[in-house]
Chain A
């Protein structure tokens, strides 16, 4: 048993006792999100980037835009891919090596939220139909893990996409050559999906779980919605179970909290 898990056993009773009075270990209410700081354009070499601090959780998202072949079944769409690295610097529980199941789940849920809402206008990223399109890499580096990496990552990813400027390109049909220009254009982003995660501890649901809470939670549920109130991803994670009413509560909390978080994203992008 790791030290973390031994601590969690002791912690669980304390957290449960507090929750019975509607209180949390760090003094928050059940529906309080932690302080959120967002800064965009923090990595000059990346076409887009965002640094997010959610409580003591820190993530850095970089966007690289390249050119490549489209998927054969989607010849007239650009490509986006999302990858998350849980680097060992961020937590004693992270180990070096290829992405583990936690990193993969994180990346795929964030990816679905963005992809399924069609947040990035992939149809505008075609250079030569069927042959050459823009390939947008969303790469997430987790820097400090204090819980709710999913929301921090999702917020960072959309903030970074909104800040992305890519060089214009011109295709010459006669020479079949692509010229990269010295001018820049913003990545076309039409929607702002925001994931909001709730943890279930005992019979209580709390928004934006801290690491202490995640270590003792039964399960979690994430709902990603955009500014139109449309849901583009949902994920129940870890063990535990939820009643239908709890799922609906998570949806409504996501719609409410997501609107507040979206304002913060927009403010950070505008002030850059």
Chain B
């Protein structure tokens, strides 16, 4: 993409366009149980990203031919609101959304114990209300919280984060300008308990060493995200405990 003249993504003090250091995440806020209808839900603000995830299920499948007699299935829809980006996005799935939905399913599925729910579906809906780069990792992070909130049995949470290359340096968690004018983006999702990588994508142009460095850095970022996920879940149950205590 045509880069504005003179734009430096890392300044002489090693600071990025939004003032962050190389290995610093954007501010992240998470809240669990934000929707009434869904079986589980979560809201994540990650920099300027605003993402809502909801889980329905395990529930009956329509159409029926998708049923599996030995396990439940996971369905994922990643969708962007028309107003979520600078130029209005035409409503409905485009090719990018279809691919992100598919890899997100692949990122979440290994964490779920779907064998326990034959003939059912777990539906995950990710709505991007505002996008500022890194929506797929924020979406996976939110979806994983919503799954836990819904009480779907899981081996682990799934935490995600991206690393990338800007102005020749590998950095954590690109924002929109860095994604547009940078050299590479490497989103990664992990199940942190056993360091299992469940999402890995990359575009850009990297040496073997840079690529491995970026993957390692993204894993570190995802581990920090994991801590925030645990706190968000804990907060929800503390809140419930307080409410119960208050009613007595």
Show the binding face of A for B, using Cβ within 8 Å. 1, 73-75, 99, 101-102, 104-105, 107-108, 112, 115-118, 218-219, 221, 229-244, 247-248, 251-252, 255
- Bound state CA distance, A252 and B198, in angstroms? 20
* Contact indicator A238/B208 (Cβ below 8 Å): no
B63 at the interface (CB under 8 A from A): no
Q: A1-B69, A74-B1, A241-B198 are in contact. Are A236 and B103 (CB under 8 A)?
A: yes
- Bound state CA distance, A237 and B201, in angstroms? 9
Q: Which residues of B contact A102 (CB under 8 A)?
A: 102
Q: Which of B105, B186, B196, B203 contacts A243 (CB 8 A)?
A: B196
- Bound state CA distance, A147 and B203, in angstroms? 24
Q: Which residues of B contact A112 (CB under 8 A)?
A: 203
Q: A73-B1, A241-B196 are in contact. Are A234 and B201 (CB under 8 A)?
A: yes
* Contact indicator B197/A243 (Cβ below 8 Å): yes
Q: Shortest CB–CB separation between residue B90 and chain A, in angstroms?
A: 16
Q: Shortest CB–CB separation between residue A214 and chain B, in angstroms?
A: 14
> Which residue on chain A has the smallest CB distance to residue B101?
A101
Q: Which residues of A contact B106 (CB under 8 A)?
A: 219, 236-240
- Bound state CA distance, A241 and B69, in angstroms? 24
A-B contact pairs, 28 of them (CB 8 A): A1-B69, A73-B2, A101-B102, A104-B95, A104-B99, A105-B102, A108-B96, A115-B203, A218-B110, A219-B106, A219-B110, A221-B200, A229-B207, A229-B208, A230-B205, A230-B207, A231-B207, A232-B203, A232-B205, A233-B202, A235-B202, A236-B200, A237-B103, A239-B110, A240-B106, A240-B198, A244-B216, A248-B212
* Contact indicator B207/A241 (Cβ below 8 Å): no
B98 at the interface (CB under 8 A from A): yes
Q: Which residues of B contact A251 (CB under 8 A)?
A: 208, 211-212
- Bound state CA distance, A229 and B207, in angstroms? 7
Q: Which residues of B contact A229 (CB under 8 A)?
A: 207-208
B 50-103 contacts with A by CB, 8 A: 68-69, 95-96, 98-99, 101-103
- Bound state CA distance, A218 and B215, in angstroms? 21
Q: Which of A75, A104, A234, A255 contacts B200 (CB 8 A)?
A: A234
Q: Which residues of B contact A230 (CB under 8 A)?
A: 205-207
Q: Which residues of A contact B203 (CB under 8 A)?
A: 112, 115-116, 232-233
Q: A1-B69, A248-B212 are in contact. Are A104 and B204 (CB under 8 A)?
A: no
Beyond A101-B98, A241-B197, list 19 extra A-B contacts (CB 8 Å).
A1-B68, A73-B1, A219-B106, A229-B207, A230-B207, A231-B202, A231-B211, A233-B202, A233-B203, A235-B200, A235-B202, A236-B200, A239-B105, A239-B106, A239-B110, A241-B198, A243-B195, A247-B212, A251-B208
B109 at the interface (CB under 8 A from A): yes
- Bound state CA distance, A231 and B102, in angstroms? 22
- Bound state CA distance, A154 and B102, in angstroms? 20
- Bound state CA distance, A98 and B109, in angstroms? 26
Q: Shortest CB–CB separation between residue B75 and chain A, in angstroms?
A: 11
B170 at the interface (CB under 8 A from A): no
* Contact indicator A247/B207 (Cβ below 8 Å): no
- Bound state CA distance, A239 and B212, in angstroms? 21
Q: Which residues of B contact A231 (CB under 8 A)?
A: 202, 205-208, 211
- Bound state CA distance, A241 and B109, in angstroms? 10
Q: Which residues of B contact A243 (CB under 8 A)?
A: 195-197
* Contact indicator A244/B219 (Cβ below 8 Å): yes
- Bound state CA distance, A219 and B107, in angstroms? 10
Q: Which residues of A contact B102 (CB under 8 A)?
A: 101-102, 104-105
- Bound state CA distance, A243 and B184, in angstroms? 22
* Contact indicator A240/B68 (Cβ below 8 Å): no
Q: Shortest CB–CB separation between residue A218 and chain B, in angstroms?
A: 8
Q: Shortest CB–CB separation between residue A235 and chain B, in angstroms?
A: 5
Q: Which residues of B contact A101 (CB under 8 A)?
A: 98-99, 101-102
Q: Shortest CB–CB separation between residue B117 and chain A, in angstroms?
A: 16
Q: Which residues of B contact A107 (CB under 8 A)?
A: 95
